[in-house]
Amino acid sequence: MKIYIFPILALCSAVMPLSAASEQKPNIVMIIVDDLGWRDVGCYGSELYQTPNVDTLAAEGLSFSNAYSSSPLCTPTRASILTGQTVGRLRLTTPVGHVPETKLDARERTVASPGLPMTEPETNNRIPLDSLTISKLLKAHGYATAFMGKWHLGYDPYIPENFGFDHVVGGRGFPGPPPPGFFGPWDPELTNMPVVEGSPNADDVLGDEAVRFIESKQDEPFFLALWFFNVHAPFQGKPELVEKYRPLAENTQYQKSAIMGAMVETMDQNVGKVSEVLTRLGLDENTIIIFSSDNGGNMYDRPEGVNPTNNFPLKAGKGNNYEGGSRVPLIVKWPGKLPAAEWTDTIAISYDYFPTLLEVAGIDAPADAVLDGVSLVPSFDGETMVRPPITSMFGHTVLATGNIANVWVRDGQWRLLRFFHTGLDQTNEYELYDLSLDPGESNNLAVSHHDKVAELNAWLDQHLKDTQTLLPRKNPDYDPELMQAGFTMGQGGYFSGGADTEKVTMTSKYDQVSLRYTPKPGESGSHLELTLLSNCAVGVAASDGGGYGSPVAVRPDLSPHRVKIPLERVATGSPINVVFDMSQPGRTHLSEISLVE
């Protein structure tokens, strides 16, 4: 194995141009798919989705087995790609690029709702207009630049045209496809989408526009950022493709959404358009293609009553900082410069793309540049590149996804997560995983590997200080005995909001969540009946202090279900223990609660 050593931060370091890049600057195509999970393409092991064009990229290029998005959500990752900085340094840590009001003065908060032991920091929602971006640098060095697709980093003046992109299609602040959705027509003044006939798919339009741009710039170096709208919500697929995937989805174990199958295939078709025009014009060998995603696959919405996708064997999904929300596919193709049909175990993250493309283009970083990533070029021979740790801050507790405010660092095989103020007396808690053996993060080694926890935690301390990252604080209003609709939290989850006499709103982190129900005065019965709505609960059982009654199965389809949970004996006022079986981290709502016979 070849070993490459890098400084902790690639700060304003000059890069040595590749010999090929010094002869003729290569074209650059960066394809970012919205919400594409680690296993959502065929070459990464999808059991349902058909992606022949992406698979061809992999067959002709280099695939990364350990690639990460800078954040488990879209806006922060997109900002990180453009600037080469961590989301913590940017203080842009939530997907708020669609909010009309500009915020660039984020700070730490001192209070939160009483159900949470931590506060959460504010977040910026724009990149400052004077930010150094990869597009500005490439443009300054002779590249024709184009942005097409989802931007989600603000509205005018915070639009691609003011960050180094000359030709823009779409590229506005919308969190998903421009209104009215994936199928046009669209208002060109509002959305910056072309005038079209009929109701084409938005990504088909992007694919056609990408072909036209490449054709028009074939005689000069170009940088095309093609950031597809698929496979984000709303879940809308071409009807003929949805019908194609319905029978296929009936025979799969994990990926069950026919609509998602249709959306993934549409994305793939347009990857094919780009590959075809590059080959037809003889540009293929002088073009580097980077294909990746802005975060892990969505496992919290429920089109057709099932997860949009499933990231198994990884844990959780989009909006959660476990592996399923952070690890993404990454394929790099550059004929003659990279091996074909090879894999590398090199660890990569989105903020590495900036220094990588500088080296590819033979451009030195400005002396005052602050870049948190490293160039991935030394891994382009397929060997594993040793590099500094990578990190992602997501200091937000999220009801829908079960994320509990945390930051993580990965160094080699080890991944440490620091959960803010979730321990006794609101101390921090830690989870340590050996990903070489445990990609599903099921065996927390923090207790048995104190030295590794201390080492990685010290690195985090220094990094967070150096980047002036905003942190969650202890919540002075936290009430571990908070009651909602007669329930108090045992363990495994947190209440969202404050005290409530009618309903329970909770987020769950663990496989089981235990609650305690205190009956109202005079209330008795042999069953606890309630209405349950959830995207994660698959079963529930209850006990009034003796044994547990028979468990009841629950369908986590985000629809309300009336559930009657048997007790082992008639309850007459004593507290009742209720245990929920959770298939994944997520949200659960309880209402209309009573004891009945």
Residue-range domain boundaries for the chain: 19-100+122-386, 404-466, 483-596
The matching CATH number, chosen from 3.70.10.10, 2.60.120.260, 3.40.50.2300, 1.10.357.10, for 483-596 is: 2.60.120.260
For the chain, helix, strand, coil in percent to 5 are: 25, 25, 50
* Tokens 């409530």, residue located: 500
- Does residue 258 sit in helix, strand or coil? helix
Residue 479 CB-density burial (10 A; 0-12 exposed, 13-18 middle, 19+ buried): middle
Q: 95, 52, 64, 36: which is closest to 290 by C-alpha?
A: 64
Q: Which amino acid is at 176?
A: G
Q: Give whole-number Cα distances, 134 to 8, 165, 404, 580, in Å.
A: 21, 10, 32, 47
Tell the residue number behind the tokens 């780009």, with chain if given. 274
Please name the residue ranges forming H helices in 227-257.
239-249
3-state SS class at 305: helix
DSSP label of 484: E
Question: Per-residue pLDDT for the chain (597 aa), expressed as one digit of tens each?
Answer: 333 333 333 333 333 344 434 468 999 999 999 999 999 999 999 999 999 999 999 999 999 999 999 999 999 999 999 999 999 999 999 999 999 999 999 999 999 999 999 999 999 999 999 999 999 999 999 999 999 999 999 999 999 999 999 999 999 999 999 999 999 999 999 999 999 999 999 999 999 999 999 999 999 999 999 999 999 999 999 999 999 999 999 999 999 999 999 999 999 999 999 999 999 999 999 999 999 999 999 999 999 999 999 999 999 999 999 999 999 999 999 999 999 999 999 999 999 999 999 999 999 999 999 999 999 999 999 999 999 999 999 999 999 999 999 999 999 999 999 999 999 999 999 999 999 999 999 999 999 999 999 999 999 999 999 999 999 999 999 999 999 999 999 999 999 999 999 999 999 988 999 999 999 998 989 999 999 999 999 999 999 888 899 999 999 999 999 999 999 888 777 899 999 999 999 999 999 999 998
Burial of 452 per CB tally in 10 Å (0-12, 13-18, 19+): middle
In contact, 475 and 112? CB cutoff 8 Å: yes
Distance CA 432, CA 442 (A): 10
Find the helix or strand (DSSP H, E) in which 100 lies.
none
How far apart, in whole angstroms, are the C-alpha atoms of residue 496 and residue 128?
33
CATH class of 19-100+122-386: alpha beta
Q: Is 371 helix (H, G, I), strand (E, B) or coil?
A: coil
Give this prediction's pTM. 0.94
Fold of 404-466: Arylsulfatase, C-terminal domain (3.30.1120)
Residue type, 481: E
Q: What 3-state class would DSSP assign to 200?
A: coil
